[in-house]
Every structure is written in structure tokens, then in C-alpha cells.
Amino acid sequence: SLLVAACVGRKFPPGFKFGAATASYQVEGAWNVSDKSPSIWDTFTHDNPDLIADKSNGDVACDSYRLWETDIGLAKDLGLDFYRFSISWPRLLPNGHSNYVSEDGKRYYNNLINGLIENGIEPVVTLYHWDLPQKLQEFGGWTNPDLASSFEEYADVAFGLFGDRVKTWLTFNEPVSFCEISYEAGKTAPGVALPGIGNYICAKVVMLAHARAYRLYDTKFRAKYRGKVGLTNQHLWFEPKNSGEEENAELMRNLMALYSYPIYSKTGGWPPSVEKRIAEISAKQGYSRSRLPEFTPEEIEFIKGTYDFYGLNYYTSRLVETAKPGEKLTWFPLSGSSEFGLALTADPSWKAGLAWLVSYPPGFRRLLLWLKQQFGDIEFKIMENGYATSEPVMYDEERVNYYRDHLEQVLLAINEDKVFVTAYTAWSLIDNYEWTSGYTSRFGLVNVDFNDPNRKRTPRASAHYYAAVIKSHSLDLSQSRGY
Ligand code: GBH
């Protein structure tokens, strides 16, 4: 019976879906074709090549604007149930506003969506994967409360044009990444460093923007299109480095749930422990109000419950300990570690693909259980998980190991912890423009030759591995490293 249990444990539940993801700025290129206007990433990379590892930009990227049929072919060869991509806001709405919709933008996304469906692949669409129209940045971007309304306009156009065929929508990809890395550290587009303030204003505006889009879908589109709307949040898993620091690890977990708590918690609003600490620190610093802006009771109710599932991106974990006086703290993944005087490190035994991307598979399972304990027995869709190397390795054994070991933890979460997980998404389908790392971080199941004008795509060993997982709907654990 043990043997039977082990075999059963390797099977994914019926109906569990597998996909792979990309994002518009990272793959499309064609930054200025037709009437497309620049995004903040076009502006940032053109103005600050020195801030990009290889001084590159996404002007051409994978040229998926032209090669979208090739990408669909790759997705089909993998046997994907769904393909997650994002819409470029300035490609669809060059003014940023809905008074003018680009015919070229419409045509491009209609082709992509129709092509996927014809090949039996479900489109999963992210509305905002970080490429804000530059014109809206002139108004302050995500620190301008009015952007919530502009986002609702954009969502209205996208739901209206594509909602008859797109049944899974993500409003935002990883608010934590663009609020913290952009507005706190100023290290990514739009490059505005407003530490300890800009990031928290961004957080509030994005929560309201998400809720507006969700409620718009409810009132205007849900009855006829019957889709699901959510967002996807990145989480790291945090463990105390030393015994006695569990409370600090828990504080970090809650800080990273800043962008979830208002939507998924029973009470709504910011995570209480985090709200309290930031208010105390702000008061000590002489501010007359907390740097983390309060929600009104109406706003709390407006945001609470605006989800049909929990989108989760997981890559890596950290150990937490109280920083030594004067210790320089890393800014990744979020400013709160310095806000709270906590140092984040990785255990030396956690294998690394990149400095920030250390592999700790058990963190994935613990995170899933923690989220279930925080927010209840809701539906979880894993919207990103993946591994990078700095060289374009074709026989990418490390990536295969990463995927197998992380998928094993997803199975354990489902079978042992009874977490309701319904989808898994590999990041990424193809190598692409990895933000300030340029083309130096390779995340693809499929290699892209960026020296080739035709951007030749070649599946790696991990692509064959993932295709076999999807086909068998199960995990072969004979090579498992047994976490
Ligand atoms: C996700 O970001 C994104 O959704 C996706 O677009 C991205 O390609 C993918 O994951 C892989 O990064 O080198 O110390 O400066 C995760 C957040 C943002 C984490 C960039 C790493 C660089 C850290 N990532 N960040 S560092």
C-alpha cells in the first residue's frame, strides 16, 4: 500500500493545468512600430543603458511581435494547456487613455489569441506587466491616485475586445516588484527613488486599480463572458536564521503579503503587524502620519474579496535575522527588510542559478500552506516558477532539477497539506529580456539566439522534460533529490 500511495502521489489531480509565461516588453520588440507609443521601459533603457547589465534594451527582444506564430508552435510542441502573455498598454492605447484604440494593437493581440485557441491552447492574459505608457508616467505613474481610473479604462477596453475568448485575466504582475524596485530603490523603470514613501503610495494605488478592474468585470462582463479575474503576487518564503527569530520571519512574510492582505484577508486592509510597525517607525521619525497610507473604511470594503483565485509567483527563499548595527542591507526583494532592520541571506546549501535566485524547494510548499492558513481554502494558480543560468546551456540539467524539485513540492502541498492548487506556469517559454539583467539571464525552456536576426528558437532539455510531465500528467521522482 505504501507503493500505491507513492504512485498516487506522483499524479497531478485531474483538471490540473500546465502553462508557460512571457511578458510583452520582455519578448515583443517592435517598440515603435505603427502607432505604438513608448512605455516607461523604452524610455528607461534608452536613457540609462549603463543601468542594464549588457547595456541592451527590448527594442527587438525575441521579436515575438513578428514571430508570434513560432511561439504558438513552441507552446503546442510542449503540450501546454495555457500560455500566459501580457498586453502592452501603449501598444493597445497609445495615448494611455481609451479615447484612441490602436488598430495595429488590436490586430496583434487578436491574432495571438485566435492562434492559441485554434491550437487548443488557452490564453491567460496579464494586463500590466510593468510597461506603463510613458505619457502616464508624466503624471506621476503609480504614485498618482488617478492612475487607478486610467487602469480601469484600459481594462474596460481589453475586457471588451478580448473577453469573449480570454477567460483568465490577471490585472497585475507582482506589484511588489514594480512598487519596491522602481519606486523605492529607483533601480528599474521609471527609475524614481522615493524610499519608504513612493513604494507605499504605489501599493495603495495599485490595490485600488486592481479592485476597480475586478468590479468593472463583475458589473459589465461577468454575466456574458464568465471568466475569472485575479492578480499575481510574488512571494519569497522566509525562515528565521536563528532560533528565537520566528517573529521576524513572520513579519517579513506579512510584509510580502502587503499586496494580498487587502484583497484576500477576511478583514481587508493592510496586514496588521506591518501596518502597526510602519506607523510606529514613521512616528519615531517625526512624520505626522504613517508613510504607509491608510485606507478609508469604504476603500477597505471596495478592495476586499476582489478575486476569483490567488495568483502566485515563487522563485526563492531567504533566511531572516536582526541586522547588526550599521550592516548594509540588500534591497531585494523589498524595502521593509531595511525598514525593520532585518538582514536577508540564503543558506549556503541552497543551489544558486543567479545571485538572487537560490533554489530552496521546501520553501514553496511551506509558502503555499502559509497562504492557505492566512487566506483560507481558496483556489491557487501558480503563475510563475522557474530557474535561470547566466550562460545559454542547452543540456540544462540544473533547470530540469529545479522544475522537478519544485513540482514535487506542489504535489506535496496538494496531497499532504490539501492546498487547492489548479495550475502551474513555467517562467519562461523562451529566453527573453530580463529587465536590468538584459539578455544575460536565461530563463527559457527554449533557447533564443539573440545574435541571429531571426531570433532562432531551440528547445532545451528542460523543454523536453516539461513536455513529458505535461503528457503523463505526473512526476517521475526516480531522480528526485529528496527534499
Ligand atoms: C518575475 O520577477 C517577473 O514577473 C518576470 O518578468 C521576470 O522575468 C521573472 O520573475 C524572473 O526575474 O539581480 O538582485 O537586481 C521576479 C522579480 C525582478 C527578481 C528583478 C530579480 C533582479 C534582482 N525579479 N530582480 S537583482
Average pLDDT of every residue of the chain? 96
pLDDT of residue 320: 95
C-alpha cell at 90: 501603449
What number is the ipTM of this complex? 0.95
Distance 138 CA to ligand 1 centre (A): 25
Query: For residue 13, is the peptide bond before it cis, meaning its omega torsion is within 30 degrees of 0?
Result: no
pLDDT band at 3 (very low <50, low <70, confident <90, very high): low
Q: Would the pLDDT of 209 be above 80?
A: yes
What is the atom index within ligand 1 of the atom nearest the CA of 188?
A: 20
Distance 366 CA to ligand 1 centre (A): 21
Percent of the chain residues past pLDDT 90, beyond the cut: 91
Please give the backbone phi and psi of residue 262, each rounded to the nearest 5 degrees, phi first.
-60, -25
User: Does residue 177 line the site of ligand 1, with CB under 6 A?
Assistant: yes
Q: Pairing state of beta strands 122-128 and 82-86?
A: parallel
**Residues 407-440: pLDDT tens digits?**
999 999 999 999 999 999 999 999 999 999 999 9
* Cell 502573455, located at residue: 85
pLDDT band at 480 (very low <50, low <70, confident <90, very high): confident
Q: What value does the mean pLDDT take over residues 269-274?
A: 98
pLDDT of residue 1: 47
Which neighbouring-strand residues pair with 459? 446
Pocket probe mutation, ligand 1, options 128, 315, 331, max atoms within 8 Å of Cβ = 315
**Among 245, 384, 408, 434, the one annotated catalytic:** 384
pLDDT band at 7 (very low <50, low <70, confident <90, very high): low
**Residues 448-479: pLDDT tens digits?**
999 999 999 999 999 999 999 999 999 988 87
User: Does residue 387 line the site of ligand 1, with CB under 6 A?
Assistant: no
Distance 386 CA to ligand 1 centre (A): 11
Q: Would the pLDDT of 33 be above 50?
A: yes
d(CA 265, CA 278): 19
User: Does residue 441 line the site of ligand 1, with CB under 6 A?
Assistant: no
pLDDT of residue 329: 83
Those residues whose C-beta lies under 8 Å from the C-beta of residue 287, and which sit 6 or more positions away, are none
d(CA 307, CA 217): 11
User: Does residue 143 line the site of ligand 1, with CB under 6 A?
Assistant: no
User: Does residue 396 line the site of ligand 1, with CB under 6 A?
Assistant: no
| DSSP H/E element including 6 | helix 2-10
pLDDT of residue 356: 93
Residue 52, CA distances (Å) to 26, 173, 441, 469 in order: 14, 21, 12, 35
pLDDT of residue 11: 95
d(CA 366, CA 416): 11
Pocket probe mutation, ligand 1, options 41, 51, 126, 174, max atoms within 8 Å of Cβ = 174
C-alpha cell at 243: 532560533
Report pTM: 0.97
pLDDT band at 181 (very low <50, low <70, confident <90, very high): confident
85 and 471 Cβ atoms separated by less than 8 Å: no
Query: Is 397 one of the catalytic residues?
Result: no
User: Does residue 234 line the site of ligand 1, with CB under 6 A?
Assistant: yes
d(CA 413, CA 205): 33
d(CA 367, CA 369): 5
User: Does residue 384 line the site of ligand 1, with CB under 6 A?
Assistant: yes
Burial of 115-147, coded b for 16+ CB within 10 Å and e otherwise, reads bbeeeebbbbbbbbbbbbbbbbbeebbbbbeeb
**Residues 95-150: pLDDT tens digits?**
999 999 999 999 999 999 999 999 999 999 999 999 999 999 999 999 999 999 99
d(CA 437, CA 443): 12
User: Does residue 152 line the site of ligand 1, with CB under 6 A?
Assistant: no
C-alpha cell at 361: 524547494
**Among 122, 152, 174, 239, the one annotated catalytic:** 174
What is the atom index within ligand 1 of the atom nearest the CA of 130?
A: 6
**Residues 350-363: pLDDT tens digits?**
999 999 999 999 99
What is the atom index within ligand 1 of the atom nearest the CA of 330?
A: 14
pLDDT band at 335 (very low <50, low <70, confident <90, very high): low
d(CA 346, CA 320): 9
Distance 256 CA to ligand 1 centre (A): 15
Query: Is 384 one of the catalytic residues?
Result: yes
Q: Would the pLDDT of 2 be above 60?
A: no
| Closest residue to atom 6 of ligand 1, CA basis | 23
**Residues 377-394: pLDDT tens digits?**
999 999 999 999 999 999
Pocket probe mutation, ligand 1, options 177, 179, 235, max atoms within 8 Å of Cβ = 177
Q: What is the DSSP string of 214-263?
A: HHHIIIIIHHHH--EEEEEEEEEEEEESSTT-HHHHHHHHHHHGGGTHHH
Distance 224 CA to ligand 1 centre (A): 36
